[in-house]
Amino acid sequence: MTVLVTPKALTDHKVRDFSMLIDGKWEPANSPPIERIAPGHGVVVSRFPAGTRADAERAIAAARKAFDQGSWPRMTASERSAVLLKAADLISARSEELALLDAIEAGKPISQVRGEIAGSVDIWRYAAALARDLHGESYNTLGDGTLGVVLREAIGVVSIITPWNFPFLIVAQKLPFALAAGCTAVVKPSELTSGSTVILGEILLEAGVPAGVVNIVTGTGPEVGAVMTSHPDVDMVSFTGSTGVGRQTMVSAAQTLKKVSLELGGKNPQIVFPDADLDSFIDAAVFGAYFNAGECCNAGSRLILHKSIASDVVQRIADLARHVKVGDPLDPATQVGAIITPQHLDKINAYVAGAQAGGAKLAYGGEPLDFGMGQFMGPTILDAVQPEMAVAREEVFGPVLSVLTFETTAQAIGIANAIDYGLSAGVWSRDFDTCLTIGRKVRAGTVWMNTFMDGASELPFGGYKQSGLGRELGRHAVEDYTETKTLNMHIGGRTNWWMPQNEKLA
Ligand code: NDP
């Protein structure tokens, strides 16, 4: 057992008592708060108010009033854009504080989180740019008597519900676009990692977002989230989380026919052909599977390797995985941090044990790592996995790579598509035709070719099948938060329906 020494940044960290933001006012906990134990250090680092149904209802009422009567939806796009740009600057100025919170509450490596905060700043700036380009259409081609104008109007009050694995980045994929369109919002972060989202509330008020436009309610999904998905005054729900809760969200939102946008789980394949640049691929395989401890919807958790290269590739991945630095999330050299909760570690272990019981071979890792505090698991490789096994079909959400093999391209596509998820996929080959064939035939929202898990604010992101509904990011991201309205205008005298044209009433 290597005992982690509590890092100075953590011993200096005073446990923070966060408040909720409702109608522009900060509301501290008025009942026992939710205590967050840092997954990498085993000590309490944050406390969040345990929001109630009544808190969620008040937040929705504030957002409704701000939308129906407030200034935000009525500002010019240029004014809203300026506020979003100011918010981006303030996020950047407080990036170290935000990174520290996400690192200790989620157990993520600090170097990685710094990148996520910088990426979030870029998204806020991108949304600010899109705000000014939101426009409808006009039709001057419908004959002399008609002019058609298609308006884009803000959809209204948006409920935003986020998970724990990328606390600050995921809210950045939703909120700035909703604000750019002129919407108001109620945001519920995961009860495990709410700190950085609450700080975002401070930033937005300072940037000039009016009271009631963004409300942040901490608490649990069944208590707070359930109100946010069912309340009649909410017009749209934007949810990122598990497929199971996403399904519940849709059922709940269906009662009042809200628009729903869902970013859900994935079981993403990397398909590798013998002619691939294997040096590049080996690194991408290790990165894809172990980045964020595999607690990543985009994790490349399934390798589909051509049979002729499989044993060599597995050996090379294991050799590289040995060098991945697992440990203290606050050590800048750490590449893989802690597992989010002890219960989640048990779930990961159960998948690894179940796969071995079913005939898969443990090629590397497979055991939790004991650092004397928190909970950790190192890179794990399961070889000889069969497509029907749970570990090949279900999201483990841990640092576990499943290896399957294929002989023909059609077989590889069949294995890739034979599951319920369709978030992303990778293909590795130097052959243009092979890459494009896989790119077109694999049913996934993103297909990487000779790379993995790259992204940009300009590129839409989301899933096929049970990986979600709708797309985030990209140039249409703001439009998602709008309604379309047709103005059908008549020019000149109208032809009556019940009498011949030009006939006068007697
Ligand atoms: P969950 O689905 O458990 O939770 C997501 C959010 O939903 C949390 O804020 C949670 O609250 C809330 N919630 C729980 N129950 C309800 C309910 N009945 N009504 C409304 N809201 C509810 O996911 P995790 O937080 O465990 O996150 C991991 C999952 O997220 C993985 O499956 C992963 O694949 C997916 N994910 C998908 C991404 C994508 O873009 N496709 C990106 C990142 C993650 P609380 O937990 O606080 O009680």
Which amino acid is residue 252, in one-letter code? S
Confidence of residue 504 (pLDDT cuts 50, 70, 90): low
Domain count within the chain: 2
Could you report the per-residue pLDDT of 49-92, keeping only the tens digit for each?
Answer: 999 999 999 999 999 999 999 999 999 999 999 999 999 999 99
What is the span of the domain harbouring residue 325? 269-449
Q: Is 166 among the domain residues? A: yes
Nearest CA to ligand 1 atom 6: 163
Question: Which residue's entry shows tokens 């008592």?
Answer: 17
Helix axes 432-441, 409-417, angle to 10 degrees: 30
What pLDDT is stored for residue 147 in this prediction? 98
What pLDDT is stored for residue 8 in this prediction? 66
Could you report the per-residue pLDDT of 347-363, keeping only the tens digit for each?
Answer: 999 999 999 999 999 99
User: Among candidates 85, 177, 96, 164, which has minimal Cα distance to 130?
Assistant: 177
Could you report the per-residue pLDDT of 301-318, keeping only the tens digit for each?
Answer: 999 999 999 999 999 999
Q: Is 492 among the domain residues? A: no
* Nearest-angstrom CA–CA distance, 119 and 167: 13
* Nearest-angstrom CA–CA distance, 467 and 463: 5
What pLDDT is stored for residue 5 in this prediction? 61
Q: How far is the CA of 465 from the centre of ligand 1 (A)?
A: 17
* Nearest-angstrom CA–CA distance, 260 and 247: 10
Q: Which of 102, 168, 297, 446 to mutate to test the pocket of ligand 1 (most atoms within 8 A of CB)?
A: 297
pLDDT surpasses 60 at 1: no
Asked if residue 382 and residue 438 are part of one domain, the reply reads yes
For 403, the 3-state DSSP assignment is: strand
Could you report the per-residue pLDDT of 35-53, keeping only the tens digit for each?
Answer: 999 999 999 999 999 999 9
pLDDT surpasses 90 at 4: no
Biggest CA pair distance of the chain: 100
Q: Is 172 among the domain residues? A: yes
Asked if residue 475 and residue 405 are part of one domain, the reply reads no
Those residues with Cβ within 8 angstroms of residue 396's Cβ, 6 or more apart along the chain or in another chain: 294, 301, 347, 348, 351
Write down the pTM of the prediction.
0.96
pLDDT surpasses 90 at 345: yes
Nearest atom in ligand 1 to the alpha carbon of residue 246 is 2
pLDDT surpasses 90 at 392: yes
Nearest CA to ligand 1 atom 36: 241
Q: Is 91 among the domain residues? A: yes
Q: How far is the CA of 163 from the centre of ligand 1 (A)?
A: 4
Q: How far is the CA of 221 from the centre of ligand 1 (A)?
A: 8
Nearest atom in ligand 1 to the alpha carbon of residue 248 is 18
Could you report the per-residue pLDDT of 437-468, keeping only the tens digit for each?
Answer: 999 999 999 999 999 999 999 999 999 999 99
* Nearest-angstrom CA–CA distance, 242 and 226: 15
pLDDT surpasses 90 at 419: yes
Q: How far is the CA of 171 from the centre of ligand 1 (A)?
A: 12
pLDDT surpasses 90 at 6: no
Q: Quote the mean pLDDT of the chain.
A: 96
Q: Is 112 among the domain residues? A: yes
CA 338, 343, 348, 349 dihedral sign is: positive
In percent, the amount of the chain with pLDDT more than 90 equals: 94
Asked if residue 227 and residue 204 are part of one domain, the reply reads yes
What pLDDT is stored for residue 299 in this prediction? 98
Q: Which of 240, 252, 345, 423 to mutate to test the pocket of ligand 1 (most atoms within 8 A of CB)?
A: 240
What pLDDT is stored for residue 476 in this prediction? 95
Q: How far is the CA of 161 from the centre of ligand 1 (A)?
A: 8
Alpha helix ranges (H) inside 408-495: 409-417, 432-441
Q: Is 455 among the domain residues? A: no
Q: How far is the CA of 101 from the centre of ligand 1 (A)?
A: 19
What pLDDT is stored for residue 13 in this prediction? 75
Nearest CA to ligand 1 atom 31: 242
Asked if residue 210 and residue 310 are part of one domain, the reply reads no
Nearest atom in ligand 1 to the alpha carbon of residue 228 is 20
Asked if residue 415 and residue 302 are part of one domain, the reply reads yes
Average pLDDT over residues 11-28: 92
* Nearest-angstrom CA–CA distance, 291 and 296: 8
Looking at residue 293, the DSSP 8-state letter turns out to be G
Asked if residue 434 and residue 291 are part of one domain, the reply reads yes
Which amino acid is residue 218, in one-letter code? T
Asked if residue 285 and residue 239 are part of one domain, the reply reads no
Asked if residue 334 and residue 231 are part of one domain, the reply reads no
* CATH value at residue 206: 3.40.605.10
- Would you name the residues annotated as active-site residues? 263, 297
Asked if residue 201 and residue 185 are part of one domain, the reply reads yes
Nearest CA to ligand 1 atom 23: 241
Neighbours of 143 (CB within 10 A): 8
Could you report the per-residue pLDDT of 88-138, keeping only the tens digit for each?
Answer: 999 999 999 999 999 999 999 999 999 999 999 999 999 999 999 999 999
Confidence of residue 502 (pLDDT cuts 50, 70, 90): low
Confidence of residue 224 (pLDDT cuts 50, 70, 90): very high
Nearest CA to ligand 1 atom 22: 221
Q: Which of 190, 231, 239, 397 to mutate to test the pocket of ligand 1 (most atoms within 8 A of CB)?
A: 190
Average pLDDT over residues 252-269: 98
Confidence of residue 496 (pLDDT cuts 50, 70, 90): confident
Nearest atom in ligand 1 to the alpha carbon of residue 191 is 47
Six token digits for residue 163: 């998970």
What pLDDT is stored for residue 498 in this prediction? 79
Ligand 1: lining residues by beta carbon, under 6 Å: 161-166, 170, 188, 190-191, 220-222, 225-226, 229, 240-242, 245, 248-249, 263-266, 297, 395, 397, 423, 463, 468
Answer for the pair 268, 301: CB distance below 8 angstroms, yes or no. yes
* CATH value at residue 285: 3.40.309.10
Q: How far is the CA of 426 from the centre of ligand 1 (A)?
A: 25
Q: At 199, give phi and psi (nearest 5°).
A: -60, -35
Confidence of residue 254 (pLDDT cuts 50, 70, 90): very high
Asked if residue 240 and residue 285 are part of one domain, the reply reads no
Q: Is 163 among the domain residues? A: yes
Q: Is 203 among the domain residues? A: yes
Could you report the per-residue pLDDT of 318-339, keeping only the tens digit for each?
Answer: 999 999 999 999 999 999 999 9
* Nearest-angstrom CA–CA distance, 192 and 244: 18
Confidence of residue 404 (pLDDT cuts 50, 70, 90): very high
In percent, the amount of the chain with pLDDT more than 70 equals: 97
Q: Which of 187, 245, 339 to mutate to test the pocket of ligand 1 (most atoms within 8 A of CB)?
A: 245
Q: How far is the CA of 102 from the centre of ligand 1 (A)?
A: 16
Asked if residue 320 and residue 385 are part of one domain, the reply reads yes
Asked if residue 127 and residue 99 are part of one domain, the reply reads yes
